[in-house]
Amino acid sequence: MHKDIATPMRTKEILKKYGFSFKKSLGQNFLIDPNILRNITESAGLTKETGSIEIGPGIGALTEHLARSSKKVLAFEIDQRLLPILEDTLSPYDNVKVVHQDILKADVQGLIETEFKDIKDIMVVANLPYYVTTPIITQLLTKRLPLRGIVVMLQKEVADRISAKPGTKEYGSLSIAIQYYTKAETVMVVPKTVFMPQPNVDSAVIRLTLHDEPIVNVDNEEFFFQVTRASFAQRRKTLLNNLTSQLPNGKGVKEEILEALDQIGIDPGRRGETLSIEEFAALSNALYPIINK
């Protein structure tokens, strides 16, 4: 067993050896607590049949835990300066492939097909750079990649929004978008003290398990998300106000929107945050023919 990368001493040694300095613009915060990395790996339920995808491996702290528990690891690293470091720190593991690409621009589906061709169980496990957390998760889900799930460390505040329930102030269009595709649960809250450098906020690990089928039936997915975004555009406004001001020609079809709300039994004076995902599905299906005539 090799000495863990994720200890303060070993991390400092590696950074010093390579003269590495953190780039704020890339949201680099390295984990220096092996126990937390073990918890992350365990909550992903990895086996020797799993292909793990990591985003932003840094100096390889989480990567080595994934390499020990998975069949193969595919890690996307955007920072050129980390490539030689990773080659060194991960040299004991022959089942890791580091790709120097931005995950948001990469052909992830293509790489899954070539790198994981005999692997059926695929998990994304990552300590995400905070500034791109939401776009990354959203893209992984909307691209319909063949994943079992996603376990990521992110800002606690974003984790709270992702797993929020209707009627709470955290609940919003992000909660609905993620819960449409997955079952979301917060696995643990992580203090800022286990990172180098320390971020200003606490973090949380969230586990998203993909539904076999979306939990609601919608006639048009894109429109469904458009309606949820519109409903939360101004949180203090009523549903009717938001829908008429945010949807294309909403004001022109106000009467028809009112009628549609009446038909599905949703009070136009409610606020977006009180609607369940099932109600949003009914709403978007009722409004689709009105807005897209």
Residue 35 confidence (pLDDT): 94
Residue 102 annotated as binding? yes
Task: Please provide residue 39's backbone torsions phi and psi, each rounded to the nearest 5 degrees.
Answer: -60, -40
Q: Is the dihedral of CA 264, 267, 273, 276 positive or negative?
A: negative
Q: How far apart are CA 176 and CA 158, in angstroms?
A: 13
Q: How far apart are CA 144 and CA 136, in angstroms?
A: 13
Average pLDDT over residues 157-183: 95
Q: Is the pLDDT of residue 27 over 80?
A: no
Residue 241 annotated as binding? no
Residue 217 annotated as binding? no
Query: How remote is the C-alpha of 219 from its chain's centroid?
Result: 25
Q: How far apart are CA 218 and CA 225, in angstroms?
A: 10
Strand-pairing partners, residue 54, are: 75
Q: How far apart are CA 138 and CA 168, in angstroms?
A: 22
Report pLDDT digits (tens) over 230-248.
999 999 999 999 999 999 9
Residue 249 annotated as binding? no
The structural architecture, per CATH, of the domain 8-210 is 3-Layer(aba) Sandwich (3.40)
Q: Is the pLDDT of residue 1 over 70?
A: no
The structural architecture, per CATH, of the domain 221-291 is Orthogonal Bundle (1.10)
Q: How far apart are CA 87 and CA 97, in angstroms?
A: 10
Residue 28 confidence (pLDDT): 75
Q: What is the 3-state secondary structure (H, E, C) of 38-74?
A: HHHHHHCCCCCCEEEEEECCCCCHHHHHHHHHCCEEE
Residue 27 annotated as binding? no
Residue 250 annotated as binding? no
Sorted by where each begins, the domain ranges of the chain are 8-210, 221-291
Percent of the chain with pLDDT over 70: 98
Q: Is the dihedral of CA 29, 30, 36, 40 positive or negative?
A: positive
* Whether the predicted model's global pTM rises above the 0.95 cut: no
Structure tokens at 194: 């286990």
| Contact present, 271 and 238 (Cβ < 8 Å) | yes
